[in-house]
Amino acid sequence: MIKATAPGRASIIGNPTDGYGGTVISCSIKNRAEVTIEESEELILVNQFGSTILRWKNDFENKNDYFDIIRSVLRFLKLYNLKAKITVKTNIPVQAGLAGSTAILSATLSAVLAFIKEDVNKYELAEMNRAIELNYLKCQCGYQDAYMTTFGGLNYLDFRGKEYYKDLYSEQYAVVENISEYVKVLPFVVAHTGIKHHSGNFHKPLRERWLEGDKDVINGYIEIANIAREAKKALIKENWKELAYLMNKNHEIQNSLAYSGDQNQYMIKVAKENVSIVCENVTSKRIILFSKNVTMGFKKYYRDNL
């Protein structure tokens, strides 16, 4: 039996410029996806929702269910004759903007490649992951999730040169700088509304506007990428007030381009009423990172709104 795991992630600043040749700082969370693969007489897929058997080639096509990620990995690798039992488990909140689906993809890809004895470096794994998500799962996405669920840690990610999508083997590798050794602690609480969403649906209209030359989107994302580069110093120096200012600025720009939703805006309001410094990042629509303790405020929020 082979086991592979991959973490979820929370974007701290720079989101969503990972899809526009920008820069992002992102951290892993403790929640993970786990995939095991073992020999079997048939190709069996198992997850918390049930199981299915893939016998014929059309069984590998997407069915708009929770097995599509595994199907897409197998189609990408052309493993139509694989005999194995693949089991997926995850404790990453579903469709919460924490890269839960991408983590499953990362763990599946790593486990299957190990099972067929293919040795692939982390950069190539991340690029394969992203190619599968874009071309096989048809999800509009940047590169952050693929790189973070592959590398893990607290990373400064530079995606310059990756503004336009290329075929897998023409893609440049991103710059991945692990900065965790310089930061003793991340004083954040990660919160989401509990409302499920598909991140691709949020990002697609913005991508179209960017490709059409919308100057507000183009200039906004240039500014957000520069903000993320400034934030690296603030984070390493643990200057939380400066980091909060930059994160709030990031959110203001993104929110002016695509409204983050009433629920997220209310959560931000609750946080600001309960702490002295607030770091916002809701470009994934459901995730906010706050410094210090906001427990009491959120207890009231959930009691009143959910």
Convert the pLDDT of each residue in 51-76 to its tens digit. Answer: 999 999 999 999 999 999 999 999 99
Q: Mark which of 152, 179, 206 sits at the end of a domain.
A: 179
User: Higher model confidence: residue 248 or residue 18?
Assistant: 18
- How many folded domains does the chain comprise? 2
Residues 246 and 143 in one domain: no
Residues 132 and 201 in one domain: no
Residues 224 and 112 in one domain: no
Name the residue range of residue 88's domain.
Answer: 2-179
The rounded percent of the chain whose pLDDT value lies above 70 is 86
Q: Mark which of 136, 153, 179 sits at the end of a domain.
A: 179
CATH number at residue 24: 3.30.230.10
pLDDT given for residue 66 in this prediction:
93
Residues 15 and 51 in one domain: yes
Convert the pLDDT of each residue in 254-293 to its tens digit. Answer: 989 988 778 877 877 777 776 645 554 544 443 444 444 4
Residues 144 and 237 in one domain: no
Name the pTM for this structure: 0.88
pLDDT given for residue 198 in this prediction:
55
Mean pLDDT of the chain: 88
- 50-61 in b/e form (b: 16+ CB < 10 A) is eebebeeeebbe
Q: Mark which of 140, 157, 179 sits at the end of a domain.
A: 179
pLDDT given for residue 226 in this prediction:
98
Close Cβ partners of 213 (under 8 Å, ≥ 6 residues apart): none
pLDDT given for residue 202 in this prediction:
55
pLDDT given for residue 294 in this prediction:
43
Q: Give the largest CA-CA distance in the chain.
A: 59
State the Cα–Cα distance between residues 30 and 117, nearest whole angstrom.
Answer: 28
Residues 112 and 223 in one domain: no
pLDDT given for residue 146 in this prediction:
98
Q: What is the CA radius of gyration of the chain?
A: 19
User: Higher model confidence: residue 199 or residue 2?
Assistant: 2
Residues 154 and 202 in one domain: no
Residue 299 scores a pLDDT above 70: no
Residues 25 and 147 in one domain: yes
CB 18 within 8 A of CB 207: no
